[in-house]
Structure 1
Amino acid sequence: MAYRFRLETVLRVRRIQEERARAELLAARTAEHAATTEHDRRGAVLDAARAAGLPDGSRLQWTAARDHHERLASAVEAARAAEVAAADLTSRSLAHWESAAADLKGLERLDERHRAEWRAEQERTEQKRLDEGAAARARDRRRTTDDGGRP
């Protein structure tokens, strides 16, 4: 008789849930890294624009450059907000994965315990069978010797 865990279907579902949660965590970490990279890139562009300063030319050029700096600053703020949102998503994804992994681990431990109990029962059954066989052979030998050595 082969071992079969009664909750095998639930265990399979938990494995799928854990794998999906792990994939979501990976995607969230990737998105967080991309958001951080974009924030850093936009910050560097703004820093370079500020370092270049405002033009000394006409008022129109000066106003256009100042507006450009303001747009760059807004882009940096938006990138920072995206970075914070991505970090929050990563945090929630991590908590979800940890929960799914704990659920899976609990069922796996239960399966291991049941499997060990099943093996022990199989070994007891096999030992009982061997003991009964040995006892029957011993009985047969006693009968043979009691009958005067004839089978």
Structure 2
Amino acid sequence: MAGGRRPPAAVDRRLAAECASLDEVRAHLLRSADPSWLLKERVAEDLFAYLVVDRSLLPAEWVKELAEWAVGRGWTVSLQGRKIYAVPRPLTKSAAMREVARRAGTDEVLAAGDSLLDADLLAAADHSWRPSHGELSDTGWTARGLTVVPERGVAAGEAILRDFVRAATTR
């Protein structure tokens, strides 16, 4: 795996049982992408793929068609800025968070994020934070236990860190 550790064998088995292979998905991505808007294709940790695209040239219907193709193969598709992610459905930030919490022996989890890819993590955490910028802010996303900090940018990160420390020391 490129620069990382293999996931637990149980994760590998679940991906193999529930999802089309990474090779199949990559082949479809490359076959269906138009070179006029495709800038790069990448694989992350031998687990999922993403494309870097020129968003101004990307046909909106292509992403929708890709998502429809992927769902029947156990994958999800997400457009985040200039990147189109294709990720196996069981491979989520919330699943990773639950595994880390299990290994750490904790029953309370704090999380923060600003991207649509962070939504499942934030929803699964006991308490979560998001800044007043980013994709989640743009959509007005909210969840139980979510605190929206009014700050933006680096100031938001600092405010969230202070809240994390406060939450960790008062429990």
State the TM-score bracket (shorter-chain normalisation): under 0.3
Q: Which has more radius of gyration?
A: 1
Structure with bigger strand share is 2
Question: Could you say which structure has the greater relative contact order, defined with CA pairs below 8 angstroms and 6 or more residues apart?
Answer: 1
Q: Scaled by the length of structure 1, what TM-score is found?
A: 0.27
Structure with bigger helix share is 1
Q: Scaled by the length of structure 2, what TM-score is found?
A: 0.24
